Amino acid sequence: MTPVTTTGYIALLRGINVGPNNRVPMATLRELIAGIGGSEVRTHLQSGNAVFAHEGQDPSRLAAELEQAITAELGLTITVLVRTEADLRRVVEANPFPMEKVDGSRFLVVFLSGPVPLDRLAAIDPAAYAPDEFSAGQTEIYGHFPDSIRNSRLAALFTDRKLGLTATFRNWNTVTRLLALSEALEGPSA
**Is the distance from CB of 166 to CB of 160 less than 8 angstroms?**
yes
Mean pLDDT of 9-19: 86
Whether residue 190 lies inside any domain: the answer is no
Peptide bond preceding 131 in cis form (omega within 30 of 0)? yes
- Nearest residue to 10 via CA among 53, 68, 46: 53
pTM for the model stands at: 0.92
- What's the number of domains the chain is made of? 2
Do 118 and 156 reside in the same domain of the chain? yes
Do 85 and 144 reside in the same domain of the chain? no
Whether residue 2 lies inside any domain: the answer is no
Whether residue 33 lies inside any domain: the answer is yes
Do 66 and 121 reside in the same domain of the chain? no
Do 42 and 111 reside in the same domain of the chain? no
Per-residue pLDDT reduced to its tens digit, 74-107: 999 999 999 999 999 999 999 999 999 899 999 9
pLDDT at 188: 46
Per-residue pLDDT reduced to its tens digit, 116-146: 999 999 999 999 999 999 999 999 999 999 9
Whether residue 189 lies inside any domain: the answer is no
pLDDT at 187: 55
Whether residue 1 lies inside any domain: the answer is no
Mean pLDDT of 174-183: 95
Domain with 154, as residue range(s), is 90-171
**Is the distance from CB of 18 to CB of 174 less than 8 angstroms?**
no
Do 65 and 122 reside in the same domain of the chain? no
Whether residue 54 lies inside any domain: the answer is yes
CATH number at residue 64: 3.30.70.1280
pLDDT at 16: 84
Return the higher-pLDDT residue of 111 and 184. Answer: 111
Do 29 and 70 reside in the same domain of the chain? yes
Asked if residue 189 has pLDDT above 50, the reply is: no
Per-residue pLDDT reduced to its tens digit, 140-178: 999 999 998 888 999 999 999 999 999 999 999 999 999
Return the higher-pLDDT residue of 56 and 180. Answer: 180
Do 95 and 126 reside in the same domain of the chain? yes
Whether residue 72 lies inside any domain: the answer is yes
Whether residue 124 lies inside any domain: the answer is yes
